[in-house]
Amino acid sequence: MKINKNFLDLEANYLFSTVGKKQREYQAAHPEADVIKLSIGDVTKPLCPAVIEAMHKAVDEMADEKSFRGYPPETGYDFIIEKILKYDFTDRGIKMDKSEIFLSDGAKSDCGNIGDIFAVDNKVAICDPVYPVYLDTNIMFGRKNNVIIMPCTEENGFSPKVPAEGDEIPDIIYLCFPNNPTGSVATRQQLKEWVDYANKHHSVILFDAAYEAFITDNSIPKSIYEIEGARTCAIELRSFSKTAGFTGVRCGYTVVPHDLVFDGTELNAMWFRRQSTKFNGVSYITQRAAEAIYSDIGQKQIQENLNYYRENAKIIFNGLTEAGFKCYGGIYSPYIWFKVPEGYTSWSFFDELLDQCNVVGTPGSGFGKCGEGFLRLTAFGNKERTIEAVERIKAKYGKK
């Protein structure tokens, strides 16, 4: 038996384990310290009442022989797919067919699994800094030497430029807006440039819209399909994790338009084949939970939670700006990406913040080389604790 040696090419990803370890060690050495964690990108507010009610009802149905359900349809029950179609696409003026939506257990699996339908020798463009799943899953597939890094810096507003004439042409392009970790968003014009580029070179864009719910400005696209031409070049990944607090429930969906045709084959048919072979669908209870998000009351309730996080983001952004830090993101994103002071690295400033303010962030360098010199704070925490953390940072670093 031979192992998949591509796994040996993965860099050990110590980011969140090192963050956790450092925090635990600090706490053990300073038991009196009141440490506030603004590091991990997980939600903290409970599921909204409409979702809980739908789940309870679905559990009761599963307890009765007459309403019990076994294996679900591979791509989702009509009741949820129709809601997704209406609210996320048709109501926003986007044409999409039922058969183009694939319900899943979340965007992380889809991000990784989608690679099954692409040849190994494709060239892949990935941002730096980045959500690590894109790079790691491509390395697992054996594309280590086929990765084109797209630096995302202050200079380009953390939004990569399309490759120039003569540059290497990527076959697969990963884009994520609102971005994790930088919190940047893409304008219609920027996305249009990517769509035109992908169509011109017959590349495919994998558009990760996991944080689209944080966009409140209608001029900023929530979906890449708001851009003309996207149906022939883009797959979109969506998640209910950050939209509705489903990180522990697990549900998302991927959009694969029929117009995506490569080597004479529809990617939609390939993804259907892949999913129906390797995935057995999302649980009935979870699908009812997701459906409840689309009711009027569900929409209102998830917006209340999103507003709570948006408020936290504002508190962090404004507080840190007041303390003299250059901040990015935090407006249409739950992440605040800020520059560490001169003379520090991401990790040395992480250590100082933990020691001096008892606040835990995430070092930007953990998301890629271009993240060096930055720290990410998350707005997914408790409001009072967030205020307390920001006050401590202001007291330590703000102008006296």
Contact set with ligand PLP (CB under 6 A) = 41, 106-108, 131, 176, 180, 208, 210, 239, 241, 247, 252
Smaller CB separation from ligand PLP, 239 or 275: 239
Least gap, CB of 178 to ligand PLP (angstroms): 9
Least gap, CB of 293 to ligand PLP (angstroms): 14
Residue 277: CB atoms within 10 Å: 10
Smaller CB separation from ligand PLP, 108 or 288: 108
Least gap, CB of 241 to ligand PLP (angstroms): 3
Smaller CB separation from ligand PLP, 96 or 251: 251
Look up residue 42 and give its two tokens: 């997980």
Smaller CB separation from ligand PLP, 129 or 373: 129
Residue 175 and residue 194 in contact, taking contact as beta carbons nearer than 8 Å? yes
Smaller CB separation from ligand PLP, 159 or 358: 159
Smaller CB separation from ligand PLP, 198 or 244: 244
Least gap, CB of 212 to ligand PLP (angstroms): 11
Least gap, CB of 261 to ligand PLP (angstroms): 26
Which of 174, 177, 201 lies closest to 189 in space, CA to CA?
177
Dihedral angle over CA of 218, 220, 222, 226, nearest 10: 90
Smaller CB separation from ligand PLP, 317 or 367: 367
Least gap, CB of 239 to ligand PLP (angstroms): 3
Smaller CB separation from ligand PLP, 310 or 392: 310
Least gap, CB of 70 to ligand PLP (angstroms): 25
Smaller CB separation from ligand PLP, 176 or 224: 176
Least gap, CB of 246 to ligand PLP (angstroms): 7
Least gap, CB of 39 to ligand PLP (angstroms): 12
Burial tier of 170 (Cβ tally within 10 Å: 0-12, 13-18, 19+)? buried
